[in-house]
Amino acid sequence: MAARCNNDGEAEMTSGGLVTRASRWMAPATLALMVGLLAACSSPPPPAEPVALGDWPGVQRQLQVFIDHEMRAAKVTGLSIALVNDQQVLWQHGAGWADQAGGVAAGPDTLYRMGSITKLFSDSAAMQLVAQGQLDLDAPVQRVLPEFKLSNRWPDAPAITVRQLMTHHAGLPRDRLGGMWGSSVGDFRDITGALADEAAEAPAGAVFDYSNVGLTLLGVVVERAGGEPFEAQVQRRLLTPLGMDGATLVTAVPDSPHMARAYQAGEAKQEPALRDVPAGGLVASVRDMARFVSMQFAQGRNAQGDVVLPQPQWAEMLTVQNKGVVLDAGFELGLGWMFTTFGADTVHGGGPVAHHAGATFYHRAQLMMLPEQRLGVVVAANDAAAGPVVSRIAQRALALMLEAQTGRRQVPAVPGFTPAAAPWTAAQRQACVGDYITPAGVVAIQAEGDALTAQLDGRTLRLLEGADGRIGLQYRLGGILTISLGVLEQIGVECTVLGGVDVLVAHLDGQTLRVGARLPPALPLPTTAQALTGTYEPVLAPGEAATIDRVVVQVRQGRLWATATTVPAFGHQSMSLPLHLVSDTEARFPGPLGDDGVVMRLRTGAPGALAVRFAGADWVRVAGPP
């Protein structure tokens, strides 16, 4: 028996975002490899039709149909898109509502929060200072911020550099959750003092580990090195010269008639303010963002031909920075820009795809471009459900534009998995057995007789033995009904060792992506472990908006586990992570290398209460052990 779901976008690569996902709670949103496995079936989207050379109207017609389908299927309230060909905007379009109750349609000038796409502007501001000799990419951060301190358990680790902040290789925590969102938030410039109580999650330069904290720190570096407030500096040196007249860097959404209202499940919401402006504070329209894309195709010049970002620094941003980082396993990125597009809709035949996504509480955005072809697309939406939608639309748009420009059809993805010609040996199976921390949570790979299985979130996946030591994925609902996983069935997952770390590496279409690291064996739990179990809730300041609703700590399978549940804006997702008790006052979540990462400090709260602190936030136990 078999069932088949829509295979468009079940495996999805997102290149950033300020949303705190259930994935390692504060982990990079690289590939949610397993998350799409249990998604409900929906009607398949219209397939891409052939586009003749130069048929730009055909591109527009197909995209209108595709956008309408995607918005209906996900019930997205409003969306805007701009297509860019070198210095020309080919098409600007709005669909749905910027303000449904007010009857305001979404359009090219509708303002959206761009989320982590802001990081490209923070990085560009840093590179402007590099061009002027005011900032050294490879100097320690302390050269500009002598007060910067961070606990580090790797005594031989090098100092964190400015370049590593820009490439997410600084080993910093993903987020400082306390005070990050709310009706009133603090100042991002306080990050240096706050980090004095935090610890690195990996040695600097060792591995890609997405960090909003790192880009917020970069904003402080830019401000200090440039001698001008960060927001004013970006406005004066980037937004204004580019003619991005509606764009601003802000904590709270502006009071503008062009600002899109936020929505979730058809209900209007209040988009909270964001403290970490350099990581995600940009508000802009797709018309504004098209000018930023055109600047990339003009090698750093604006529409008037003036230099905004000098050519050497523009080129450096679009140059792969991490080729020598073994643990990145082929994942490629520049300074700010991501290049690996691992997923269902990789655009073929146009050279590297440079991209960055953005997400806040209720806004989602995607920017993708082909620098060699001078083609780009920006999509933004004002709905919490629009994350996969903006990515799929951007990918479809870029592929159609490339076909219209070159006349060449897109080719199917090359599968990363083919069945093995002969059954694996027991030694091959045993080499994969273990618990792995992945973007979808802890995956437990087990050998059962002559078969491999994986346990994820209480569900069992059958693992198929493939050629080249790669594993394929199969899911049977109730152990009987085989559910087609679409593009996930094409992915081959390899158990291997990189840089001395046991990892899982996914293969698809010639691209590779590290998607897991093996956890160390569970150690005997101290007798104090049971006393920590219970339900914890965040301690919120007045007006503060939480991203995690609660954390439940319990003992099972010989480990201490903490299960976090996100607030409804982030899908009310739950994920369990193991906790390693380091001492009576400290525990650690898994880091990007599978060993100890985020620190949880234990302390006494009110009389009879137990409190903990992690990721810059305080939590108090509201219910004891069951």
Residue 563 has pLDDT above 80, yes or no: yes
pLDDT (average), residues 45-50: 89
pLDDT (average), residues 355-369: 97
> What is the model's pLDDT at position 412?
84
Residue 20 has pLDDT above 50, yes or no: no
Residue 220 has pLDDT above 90, yes or no: yes
> What is the model's pLDDT at position 272?
97
Tokens of 144: 């500009």
pLDDT of 147-172, one tens digit each? Answer: 999 988 888 999 999 999 999 999 99
Q: Which long-range contacts (CB under 8 A, 24 or more apart) does 95-104 make?
A: 95/67, 95/68, 95/71, 96/71, 98/258, 98/259, 98/260, 98/261, 98/382, 99/260, 99/261, 100/261, 100/263, 100/268, 101/261, 101/268, 102/261, 104/257
pLDDT of 267-325, one tens digit each? Answer: 999 999 999 999 999 999 999 999 999 999 999 999 999 999 999 999 999 999 999 99
> What is the model's pLDDT at position 459?
81
- CA 155 to each of CA 152, 168, 474, 611: distance values in angstroms, whole numbers, following the listed order: 7, 20, 43, 30
Question: Which band of pLDDT confidence, cut at 50, 70 and 90, is reported for residue 447?
Answer: very high
CA 406 to centroid of chain Cα atoms:
31
pLDDT of 565-610, one tens digit each? Answer: 999 888 888 889 999 998 888 899 999 989 888 888 887 665 567 8
CB within 8 A of 279, min separation 6: which ones? 18, 116, 118, 119, 122, 212, 213, 215, 216, 219
Transcribe 285-315 into DSSP letters: -HHHHHHHHHHHHTTTB-TTS-BSS-HHHHH
> What is the model's pLDDT at position 24?
45
Nearest of 437, 415, 424, 585 to residue 487 by alpha carbon: 415
Tokens of 597: 């990462």
**Cα 464 from Cα 443, distance rounded (Å):** 15
Transcribe 71-127 into DSSP letters: HHHHT--EEEEEEEETTEEEEEEEEEEEETTTTEE--TT-BEE-GGGHHHHHHHHHH
Topology classification of domain 529-623? Lipocalin (2.40.128)
> What is the model's pLDDT at position 39?
37
Mean pLDDT, the chain, whole residue set: 89
Q: Of 100-114, 216-230, 514-528, which range is least confident? A: 514-528
Residue 1 has pLDDT above 60, yes or no: no
Domain 84-406: give its CATH code. 3.40.710.10
pLDDT (average), residues 380-386: 97
**Cα 325 from Cα 415, distance rounded (Å):** 25
> What is the model's pLDDT at position 625?
74
- CA 54 to each of CA 47, 50, 90, 394, 402: distance values in angstroms, whole numbers, following the listed order: 20, 12, 12, 19, 10
> What is the model's pLDDT at position 45?
85
List alpha helices for 380-511, DSSP H. 387-406, 426-432
Residue 420 burial class via C-beta count within 10 angstroms: exposed 0-12, middle 13-18, buried 19 and up: middle
Q: Of 78-92, 278-292, 534-548, which range is least confident? A: 534-548
Residue 27 has pLDDT above 80, yes or no: no
429: left (phi over 0), alpha (psi -120 to 50) or beta: alpha
Backbone angles phi, psi at 232, to 5 degrees: -65, -35
Residues above pLDDT 90, as percent of the chain = 73
Domain boundaries, the chain: 84-406, 426-508, 529-623
Q: Of 159-163, 409-413, 456-460, which range is least confident? A: 456-460
> What is the model's pLDDT at position 326?
96
> What is the model's pLDDT at position 34?
40
pLDDT of 474-523, one tens digit each? Answer: 866 555 555 556 677 889 999 999 999 999 999 999 899 999 999 999 88
pTM over 0.95, yes/no? no
**């070198």: which residue's tokens?**
86
> What is the model's pLDDT at position 162?
98
> What is the model's pLDDT at position 305?
97
**Cα 76 from Cα 6, distance rounded (Å):** 18
**What is the chain's Cα-based Rg?**
24
**């899982």: which residue's tokens?**
504
List alpha helices for 407-511, DSSP H. 426-432
> What is the model's pLDDT at position 3?
33
**Cα 168 from Cα 211, distance rounded (Å):** 6
**Cα 38 from Cα 506, distance rounded (Å):** 19
CB within 8 A of 295, min separation 6: which ones? 242, 301, 302, 308, 309
**Cα 132 from Cα 562, distance rounded (Å):** 48
